[in-house]
């Protein structure tokens, strides 16, 4: 339910909605965390009080994803954007190649960084289709000696999402899950590395989660600056330098909240229901609303659509803002409309948006 003091419907793409219960708990503990007399933001990151917060967040993440013992979980900074560089810096050489599956702006940015460290190639791309779909790929499309394959599991700008993950045999698979991490159960063992900025489904901006297989770590380059080595953060339990302590505290609280909702299977069920309310209006509008993504590639996290003309689209966004809908503008690079329905966006918000969309169509069709 919406809290009386939170009288907007937050559909921002990131930083995005956080669970009200988590924000309220953080508010209660803000000046005196765990009877320490200090805020969690004031605690030394070397203190036992903070260490408990830090380790509990890691343990909860491992539990929710049932992460196998041959993986490490670390927290780093710099967002997913730093990972675009760190990945080839650590795992690509001038003599190796890495394959990238191009599904949108973030995979484009990740691919661009490979040229600084080795050779990247495009396995497949849906750019010619305005990134409306997820390409079909398989082990036959990659080289057996590739350093890794990189994919982006959910594409915030274009509203597409992988429904099933391909098998690339023995080639390591690295996935940017920034915008759909913890939105559904996954088999972590299908990936050699998963990374995600926290500001969509896990907490505030400033924390990046990395789940990395130990066998991939063993292949890492040695000639890398210390703070940019994954092994550095593994060896120091993500405490090599001062971590974003408040962000990690909030991440841990969000993971607790996910657990309390019934875990990832329940979260996935609710996310499907929320997205269906909005997609149904689009599909039943007879072209008044035009979905961007092909139905087989639709995202449960980012619902992208346009109206039949730009003037009407502008009016739709203006009237939506007047009624308390926040963040419905599409990304500046593509325009249109976008409703980001991350875990913490309540069902009530999606229902309210679907009703508004019906009412707007009835007035302007």
Run of H or E residues at 119: strand 119-125
DSSP state of 200: T
Copy the structure tokens of residue 258: 């996910």
Task: Measure the CA–CA gap between 208 and 192, rounded to whole angstroms.
Answer: 17
Copy the structure tokens of residue 184: 């559904």
Q: Are 228 and 186 in contact (CB under 8 A)?
A: no
Q: Are 40 and 32 in contact (CB under 8 A)?
A: no
Copy the structure tokens of residue 199: 């500001």
Strand 302-307's sheet: what is its strand order? 289-291, 302-307, 337-340
Task: Measure the CA–CA gap between 81 and 87, rounded to whole angstroms.
Answer: 10
Using alpha carbons, list the distances in angstroms from residue 13 to 55, 240, 321: 28, 31, 15
Run of H or E residues at 64: helix 48-65
Q: Which of 110, 162, 142 is nearest to 293 (CA)?
A: 162
Q: Are strands 154-155 and 160-161 parallel, antiparallel or unpaired?
A: antiparallel
The set of catalytic residues is 106, 176, 200
Helices 48-65 & 245-261, crossing angle to 10 degrees? 40
Sign of CA dihedral 180, 156, 17, 356: negative
Transcribe 299-327 into DSSP letters: -SSEEEEEESSHHHHHHHHHHHHHTTEES
DSSP state of 212: E
Specify the residue for token string 């409703």: 339
Copy the structure tokens of residue 110: 């990740």
Copy the structure tokens of residue 220: 């890492």
Q: Are 243 and 77 in contact (CB under 8 A)?
A: yes
């Amino acid at each position: 339910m919406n809290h009386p003091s939170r009288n907007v419907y937050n559909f921002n793409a990131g930083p995005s909605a956080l669970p009200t219960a988590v924000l309220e708990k953080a508010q209660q503990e803000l000046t005196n965390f765990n009877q320490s007399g200090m805020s969690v933001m004031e605690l030394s990151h070397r203190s036992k009080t903070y260490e408990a917060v830090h380790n509990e967040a890691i343990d909860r993440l491992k539990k929710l994803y049932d992460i196998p013992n041959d993986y490490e979980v670390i927290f780093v900074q710099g967002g997913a954007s730093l990972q675009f560089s760190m990945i080839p810096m650590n795992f690509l050489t001038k003599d190796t190649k890495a394959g990238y599956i191009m599904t949108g702006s973030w995979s484009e940015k990740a691919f661009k960084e490979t040229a600084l460290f080795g050779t990247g190639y495009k396995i497949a791309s849906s750019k010619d289709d305005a990134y409306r779909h997820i390409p079909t790929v398989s082990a036959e499309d990659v080289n057996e000696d590739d350093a890794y394959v990189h994919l982006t599991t959910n594409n915030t700008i274009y509203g597409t999402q992988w429904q099933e993950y391909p098998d690339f045999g023995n080639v390591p698979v690295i996935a940017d899950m920034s915008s759909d991490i913890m939105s559904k159960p996954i088999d972590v063992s299908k990936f050699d590395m998963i990374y995600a900025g926290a500001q969509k489904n896990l907490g505030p901006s400033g924390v990046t989660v990395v789940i990395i297989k130990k066998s991939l770590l063993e292949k890492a380059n040695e000639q890398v600056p210390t703070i940019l080595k994954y092994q550095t953060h593994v060896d120091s339990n993500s405490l090599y330098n001062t971590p974003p302590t408040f962000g990690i505290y909030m991440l841990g609280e969000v993971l607790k909240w996910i657990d309390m909702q019934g875990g990832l299977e329940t979260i996935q069920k609710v996310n499907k229901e929320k997205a269906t309310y909005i997609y149904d209006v689009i599909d039943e509008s007879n072209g008044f609303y035009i979905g961007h993504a092909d139905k087989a590639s639709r995202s449960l996290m980012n619902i992208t659509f346009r109206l039949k003309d730009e003037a009407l689209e502008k009016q739709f966004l203006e009237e939506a803002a007047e009624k308390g809908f926040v963040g419905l503008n599409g990304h500046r690079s593509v325009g249109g409309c976008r409703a980001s329905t991350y875990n913490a966006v309540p069902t009530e918000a999606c229902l309210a948006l679907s009703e508004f969309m019906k009412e707007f169509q009835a007035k302007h069709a």
